[in-house]
């Protein structure tokens, strides 16, 4: 944990032992009760400026964060590169409800398991050199991963929203085209019906003319017969 952190040590036994391999760049301890010695009695607030690391000996108690400020200045970091495809890693993680072996069952909490986090985001898991010691996770990093996942979900939502808008616009254009096509077909159908009506009228006229021609032919035939019969 780098930067400035205000940590609260809650002892679960008469004496809370400060591990011999805990290193502080600067340590300022303010007691709330008891004497501050190599053995921290009861509840003591520790303020750490710089880098704090703990690995090895067993802690008798629980170390909790009260207020935490972590150095995050751009100029303090090297090899800055954006983390992509965070959501794919998040999908592989489970969120567990559990309590620590040192706590009672009613003191449940929610979190991830280091063993599941390790293959997905190995930079967020500390694996101690001693296999008998517990692995730990970078909770600040997990928060950053959660933020990255939210951003990717938001990007997906925005992309889907744009796609839906494009589909809606395309559907609207298609509906307009179909209505225009339907109107054109209706006009064509009206013209065809009008043409059919004119064709029927022409057919009636032709039939009428044919009937007139037939009658004239019969009249001419009778007249010819009369002329032939005349003396």
**pLDDT tens for residues 78-103?**
877 888 889 999 999 999 999 888 88
Q: Kindly state the average pLDDT of the residues 172-183.
A: 94
Residue 192 lies in a domain: yes
> Is 215 in the same domain as 155?
yes
Q: Which domain holds residue 198?
A: 146-231
Q: Whose CA is closest to 133, among 67, 29, 55?
A: 55
Asked if 29 and 85 count as a contact pair (C-beta separation under 8 A), the reply is: no
Residue 76 lies in a domain: no
Copy the structure tokens of residue 62. Answer: 């629980």
Q: Where does 32-162 show beta strands of DSSP type E? A: 39-53, 62-69, 96-98, 109-111, 125-126, 136-137
**Helix, strand, or coil (residue 112):** coil
> Is 5 in the same domain as 57?
yes
Distance (Å) of CA 213 to CA 44, 131, 218? 128, 119, 9
Q: What is the pLDDT of residues 29-57, one digit of tens each?
A: 333 333 333 333 333 334 333 333 343 33
> Is 227 in the same domain as 153?
yes
Residue 15 lies in a domain: yes
> Is 150 in the same domain as 224?
yes
Residue 78 lies in a domain: no
H/E run at residue 23: strand 23-31
> Band of the pLDDT at 230, cuts 50, 70, 90?
low
Look at residues 37, 71, 105 and tell me which one is the last residue of a structural domain.
71
> Is 18 in the same domain as 51?
yes
Q: What is the pLDDT of residue 226?
A: 80
Report pTM. 0.52
CA–CA gap between residue 15 and residue 60 (Å, rounded): 7
> Band of the pLDDT at 70, cuts 50, 70, 90?
low
The share of the chain scoring above pLDDT 70, in percent, equals 68
CA–CA gap between residue 231 and residue 229 (Å, rounded): 7
- 149 pLDDT exceeds 80? yes
* Chain center to CA of 200: 67
Split into its structural domains, the chain has a count of 3
Asked if 125 and 157 count as a contact pair (C-beta separation under 8 A), the reply is: no
> Is 213 in the same domain as 154?
yes
> Is 162 in the same domain as 187?
yes
φ, ψ dihedrals at 7, nearest 5° = -115, 145
Answer positive or negative: Cα dihedral of 226, 228, 229, 230: positive
Residue 63 lies in a domain: yes
Pairing, β 62-69 against β 2-17: antiparallel
- 225 pLDDT exceeds 60? yes
């Amino acid at each position: 944990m780098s930067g400035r952190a205000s940590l609260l040590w809650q002892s679960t036994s008469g004496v809370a032992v400060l591990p011999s391999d805990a290193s502080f760049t600067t340590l300022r301890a303010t007691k709330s009760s008891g004497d501050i010695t190599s053995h921290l009695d009861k509840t003591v607030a520790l303020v750490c400026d710089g880098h704090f690391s703990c690995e090895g000996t067993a802690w008798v108690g629980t170390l909790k964060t009260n207020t935490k400020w972590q150095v995050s200045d751009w100029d303090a970091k090297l090899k800055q590169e954006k983390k992509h495809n965070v959501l794919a890693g998040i999908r592989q993680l489970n969120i567990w409800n559990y309590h620590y072996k040192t706590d009672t069952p009613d003191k449940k909490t929610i979190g991830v398991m280091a063993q599941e986090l390790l293959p997905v985001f190995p930079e967020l898991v500390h694996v101690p050199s001693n296999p008998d010691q517990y692995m730990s996770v970078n909770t600040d990093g997990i928060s950053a991963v959660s933020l990255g996942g939210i951003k990717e979900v938001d990007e997906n939502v925005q992309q889907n929203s744009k796609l839906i808008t494009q589909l809606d616009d395309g559907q609207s254009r298609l509906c307009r085209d179909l209505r225009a096509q339907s109107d054109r077909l209706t006009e064509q159908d009206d013209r065809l019906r009008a043409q059919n009506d004119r064709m029927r009228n022409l057919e009636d006229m032709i039939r009428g003319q044919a009937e007139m021609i037939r009658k004239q032919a019969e009249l001419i035939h009778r007249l010819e017969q009369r002329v032939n019969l005349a003396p």
